[in-house]
Homo-oligomer: A and B are copies of this chain.
């Protein structure tokens, strides 16, 4: 066997170079080089989002219909379908790039926590203690001396001790001249156990270190990894950081990630990718506040079931196959460093318990953070993304379901869709007389594509303006060049080429509208089906609607009701909690009471499977209309659309 030929691949505009074996997949080479290429299908060749332009050199490529003849002749290739044959220079165009700067946009309307009745009492605690030095009359072991002291001074007893504490103990006691600070951790109760475990002694340090007492809260999302640095002395978030989940280069949604895990070494690669993201976020958090890594004592995280399993190295294969079983609903505490997270040895991970394969720890975390289980009022909790997760209930009971919305809300399957980063069109108005648009983008940059919430705003506005009909088709008879025939039926030109970052027109197509209708239809049908499954007559009975999730935070309520995504309720009933997953992780870091609730809440939540429900299918089909086939479901919208139509008829007539 001869040694594999080495080939240099140079990526522009990042100007990074990597040496790989001849025959290496170009997408994998980019990932290895740290070049962030979007690949929403996970490298199967079906999405066309990982297109790059060859400037020099040769690849062997499998052509799909995602690359036109013209593009192909210009050197455009799908990275995932290409194997490098010679030294290469590759240009990664803006639309294929994942930008580092994801914007964490805080809105004032995002409230801190809706949970009540909890005390500030973090599960992680530091105690300073001064011990009498040993003498010949009192020469018990270092450990017994410490435990005796803690019992006497702080009435701490029955503590279990981490072996790593025993390892450090003799030195810490003597370095600190018999004055040390110990850290204890209360872990969540086992499901069904009576009361919580006693605190566990997890760390010992010489001297008084109580002033440096921090922990981390994390939301491990399919798209992004969000972390917060918490000061446990002051009960405050002192830094925020967010990164793309590096897994995104292996596929945009959980299904493509699960599929990737089935390749040899796939699970390990995805696990490493999310660990890299977590480590990057930790790095940023520590740098922002000049906190030392040794002063971080705990890590609370919440993520959907697939993200949590991959993070822990648990094959998610059965999440994807009927009957959709996760490996575990709750996770024993795991030493973070054993997974490869760059924190001190004593740091454990508490991961929020999952309810089912598609209702994960991110949802139970949100439910805890939002305090739904504490109030008698009937609440609808919604987290909308690639999947929609729905929780209904109150302090007596909780029901949950999830439905696949598809990638439309994250820009997937939408001709010019993109994740909600700089340059994504989000705001949209239309002049009802000229049908000329006015768009605003995230960060105010030149338009590059359409975000999920932008899509909703655009379609709602076009619907209200009569540019599209309630069945999602353009009105081709309007006197505007903005509406024109395209490759995917009629399309509406949002921005013309000279105004855009990509140098191409940005359009909304009928296929895009169709995809949006399917996405919103699935969410609404899920809410409807779960509502009636638990014996509630209609969505009108909810006292409160809590919207969680990064996507949800940027939803326009009116536009969302207009297209039939959210139920037609008075606007004041809607509350945004932002990243519910992170909220719960943060709140339980501050309060042992809420931590105790976490598993209980996950166990309270009864899961309903919608995928084999006939009711769901019927509701779904009925929802493939704007806002809905049954006008009675959306009384105020129906009335408003009808009013607008009459107005147009009057003006036109």
A169 to B325, CA, bound (A): 12
Oligomeric state, in copies:
2
Q: A160-B190, A190-B160, A318-B170 are in contact. Are A142 and B326 (CB under 8 A)?
A: yes
- CB distance A139 to B328 under 8 Å? no
- CB distance B313 to A139 under 8 Å? no
Q: Which residue of B lies closest to A142 (CB)?
A: B327
Which stretch in A216-224, A329-337, A474-482, A511-519 binds the other chain? A329-337
A158 within 8 A of B: yes
Chain A interface category by residue count: 35 or more
- CB distance B325 to A142 under 8 Å? yes
Q: A158-B192, A190-B158, A193-B158 are in contact. Are A139 and B329 (CB under 8 A)?
A: no
- CB distance A141 to B327 under 8 Å? yes
Q: Which of A147, A326, A327, A328 has the most CB of B within 10 A?
A: A328
A543 within 8 A of B: no
A139 to B323, CA, bound (A): 6
Q: A409 → chain B, closest Cβ, in Å? A: 26
- CB distance A315 to B158 under 8 Å? no
Q: A136-B322, A322-B136 are in contact. Are A314 and B158 (CB under 8 A)?
A: no
- CB distance A326 to B190 under 8 Å? no
- CB distance B329 to A144 under 8 Å? yes
A163 within 8 A of B: yes
A404 within 8 A of B: no
- CB distance B609 to A167 under 8 Å? no
- CB distance A166 to B134 under 8 Å? no
Q: A353 → chain B, closest Cβ, in Å? A: 9
A25 within 8 A of B: no
A151 / chain B contacts, CB cutoff of 8 Å: 192
Q: A136-B612, A170-B314, A192-B158 are in contact. Are A325 and B141 (CB under 8 A)?
A: yes
A312 / chain B contacts, CB cutoff of 8 Å: 163, 166-167
A647 within 8 A of B: no
A469 within 8 A of B: no
A contact residues vs B (CB 8 Å cutoff): 134-136, 138-145, 147, 151, 157-163, 166-167, 169-171, 190-194, 312-315, 317-318, 322-334, 354, 356-357, 607, 609, 611-612
Supply 17 A–B pairs (Cβ within 8 Å), ascending by A: A136-B322, A136-B609, A141-B328, A143-B327, A144-B191, A144-B328, A144-B329, A145-B325, A158-B190, A159-B190, A160-B190, A161-B332, A163-B331, A166-B314, A167-B314, A170-B314, A170-B318
